[in-house]
């Protein structure tokens, strides 16, 4: 029987990664795989990449690797070089050391687990690293995704929300996020698959870590000071383990405003962290009518 740990969406959060590494010492796993988004949406992309390299963990490329590669190569629209809404992305790209950039640029889109070839690991879906598989995905779509791979087990991430679905045709496991969970539980999350051939049990691990240490890095690194609205809202995402940034962008668009730090307090006054998303979407529609 093999035990395989799969980590994803670390997003430059070293305190969360260290907590998971401590937890892994007790888990007797044969292998650790990283399913993308080591960088982006957090202050320590270079440190995360270097730690993953030092551990020798096989790794794939998430959409945030793609974004950072585009920023570092200057392969972006002119507006992104100056707009306040892209300040955090510019800061994170400038933080990324050449060795870290070279590593992420060489990553594959997907891999089979070397010690368990029945398991295919992708970041989003088998066809795209920006297409998330979540509780909202229909059974028909899930079976389509399983039909797009040769293996029996499809492991994915990207949504920052853990998920486990079993079909007679195969199994889908979304491992959740180490550094930026969106399922309401702020702890660092990953999954361990234990089994062999077609039979795999899934254990979702949730590991507490020191968020104060992360927020100190936000301040000391300059990420908070230079990242504008994005960094301020990412801090909220860490605090509440749910999205703030995308709702803010949708809210600003509905009001016809360009997203900037000066709007964050106004947004936070209407975006109650306990507000169900459907109520938030209803609020956006009323703004669009005004
Ligand atoms: Fe992500």
pLDDT for 289 equals 66
Q: Ligand 1 center to residue 245 CA distance, Å?
A: 13
List, in order of start, the domains of the chain with CATH numbers.
2-207 (3.60.21.10)
pLDDT for 285 equals 82
Inter-residue contact 114 to 61 (CB < 8 Å): no
Q: Ligand 1 center to residue 123 CA distance, Å?
A: 9
pLDDT for 63 equals 98
Q: Ligand 1 center to residue 254 CA distance, Å?
A: 25
Q: Ligand 1 center to residue 37 CA distance, Å?
A: 5
Left if phi > 0, otherwise alpha if psi is -120 to 50, otherwise beta: which for 37? left
What does the DSSP assignment read for 187-253?
Answer: SEEEEEEEEETTEEEEEEEEE---HHHHHHHHHHTSHHHHSHHHHHHHHHHHHHTS--HHHHHHHHH
Q: Ligand 1 center to residue 124 CA distance, Å?
A: 9
Q: Ligand 1 center to residue 11 CA distance, Å?
A: 7
Q: Ligand 1 center to residue 198 CA distance, Å?
A: 28
CA distance 289 to 12: 39
Q: Ligand 1 center to residue 2 CA distance, Å?
A: 27
Q: Ligand 1 center to residue 290 CA distance, Å?
A: 33
Q: Ligand 1 center to residue 121 CA distance, Å?
A: 15
Q: Ligand 1 center to residue 289 CA distance, Å?
A: 32
Of 89, 78, 76, nearest to 245 by C-alpha is: 89
Q: Ligand 1 center to residue 83 CA distance, Å?
A: 22
**C-beta atoms surrounding 72 within 10 Å:** 18
Q: Ligand 1 center to residue 12 CA distance, Å?
A: 10
Neighbours of ion ligand 1 (CB under 5 A): 9, 37
Residues of the chain falling short of pLDDT 70: 289-290
Inter-residue contact 88 to 227 (CB < 8 Å): yes
């Amino acid at each position: 029987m093999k035990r395989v740990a799969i980590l994803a969406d670390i997003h430059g959060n070293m305190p969360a990664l260290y907590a998971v590494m401590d937890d892994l010492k007790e888990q007797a796993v044969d292998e650790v795989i990283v399913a993308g988004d080591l960088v982006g949406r957090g202050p320590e992309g270079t440190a995360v990449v270097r730690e993953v390299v030092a551990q020798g963990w096989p790794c794939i490329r998430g959409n945030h690797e793609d974004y950072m590669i585009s920023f570092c190569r200057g392969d972006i629209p002119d507006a992104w070089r100056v707009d306040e809404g892209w300040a955090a992305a510019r800061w994170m790209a400038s933080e990324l050391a050449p060795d870290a950039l070279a590593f992420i640029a060489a990553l594959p889109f997907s891999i089979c687990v070397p010690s368990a070839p029945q398991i295919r690991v992708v970041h989003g879906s088998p066809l795209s690293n920006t297409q998330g598989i979540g509780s909202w995905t229909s059974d028909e779509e899930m079976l389509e995704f399983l039909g797009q791979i040769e293996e029996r087990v499809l492991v994915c991430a990207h949504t920052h929300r853990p998920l486990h679905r079993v079909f007679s045709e195969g199994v889908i496991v979304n491992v959740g996020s180490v550094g930026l969970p969106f399922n309401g539980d702020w702890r660092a999350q990953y999954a361990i698959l234990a089994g062999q051939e077609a039979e795999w049990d899934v254990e979702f691990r949730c590991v507490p870590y020191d968020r104060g240490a992360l927020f100190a890095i936000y301040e000391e690194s300059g990420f908070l000071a230079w990242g504008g609205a994005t960094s301020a809202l990412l801090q909220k995402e860490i605090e509440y383990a749910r999205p703030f940034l995308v709702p803010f962008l949708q809210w600003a668009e509905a009001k016809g405003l360009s997203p900037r730090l000066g709007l964050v307090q106004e947004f936070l006054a209407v975006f109650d962290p306990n507000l169900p998303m459907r109520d938030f979407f209803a609020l956006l529609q009323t703004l669009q009518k005004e």
